Amino acid sequence: MRIWFLILSAVVIGSPAFAQYESIADLKVAKPEDKQDAKSTPAPSGALVLFDGKNLDQWVKRNDPKTTATWKLLDGGIMQVNGGDIITKELFDGSFTLHVEFRVPYMPKASGQGRGNSGVYLQGRYEVQVLDSYGLDSKDNDCGGIYTIAKPLVNACKAPTVWQTYDIDYTSPKFVDGKKTEPGHITVLHNGVKIHDNVTITKDNTTSGLGGDPSKPGPILLQDHGNPVQYRNIWLVKKTAK
Ligand code: MG
């Protein structure tokens, strides 16, 4: 009996899926589709593919931009937070659409900002929050919030461990002779639901962003907030130059 228990324990503990993401079978959901993955959208022709699951060639470490990112590549075309924030090699400006798919772990014993926290930063400066905010009355620091700037119009979150999507339309701020003449704007679809409609970016940097000169181009940054958040299928379509 004991030997079977040990073998079973080894199998279960050795299973990455089990070790990373607990079952959400005990989680009560408002509607069944909250436990169903959002539809994955392939990169359209002409898109810049930032992550297709094969490698991290487009990404470097935030704190050591000469070094390729060390996030874990997992089966299923997935990368998982590991070893600090990562940024794209390429810097962006002007208008673009960014598609990101992500999922957060089920952390029933954690709460608030400690529950599946990561984030997608535009130009490395403005965070669209990634967090387990399922079922909450969302604030500007919850999932889909533009951190400390705007709360989502509605909470469009799916349950933790379920794949979700962001489609972000971004326009960088405009400057003339170093003076800001127009702020940046963000529209966000979360799982296909519009949660921000051309929101004005009222700051030059949100918490833990790269900062720097806001008139300069910046990378896409994915945040390591210490939780094993996963990403897949990330692509970007440039619309207009600055
Ligand atoms: Mg975050």
Spacing, Cα 210 to ligand 1 middle (Å): 13
Determine the pLDDT at residue 169. Answer: 98
Spacing, Cα 12 to ligand 1 middle (Å): 30
Task: Write down the domain spans for the chain.
Answer: 45-238
Spacing, Cα 4 to ligand 1 middle (Å): 42
Question: Does 151 have pLDDT greater than 70?
Answer: yes
Q: What is the mean pLDDT of residues 177-204?
A: 97
Q: What is the DSSP letter of 184?
A: -
The pTM (predicted TM-score) of the whole model is 0.92
Closest CA relative to residue 100, chosen from 133, 122, 117:
122
Spacing, Cα 131 to ligand 1 middle (Å): 7
Report CA 77 to chain centroid distance, whole Å. Answer: 15
Determine the pLDDT at residue 4. Answer: 53
What percent of the chain stands above pLDDT 70? 91
The better pLDDT of the pair 1, 157 is held by 157
Q: CA 230 → CA 20, 106, 128, 216, distances in Å?
A: 10, 12, 15, 29
CATH number among 2.60.40.10, 2.40.30.10, 3.40.50.300, 2.60.120.560, domain 45-238: 2.60.120.560
Question: Does 141 have pLDDT greater than 80?
Answer: yes
**63: Cβ–Cβ under 8 A, 6 or more apart, which residues?**
84, 85
Strands (E), the chain: 48-51, 59-61, 64-68, 72-74, 78-80, 86-88, 95-103, 118-122, 126-130, 164-171, 174-176, 179-182, 185-190, 193-200, 221-222, 230-240
Determine the pLDDT at residue 240. Answer: 85
Spacing, Cα 117 to ligand 1 middle (Å): 5
The confidence band for 242, taking pLDDT boundaries of 50, 70 and 90, is: low
Spacing, Cα 45 to ligand 1 middle (Å): 30
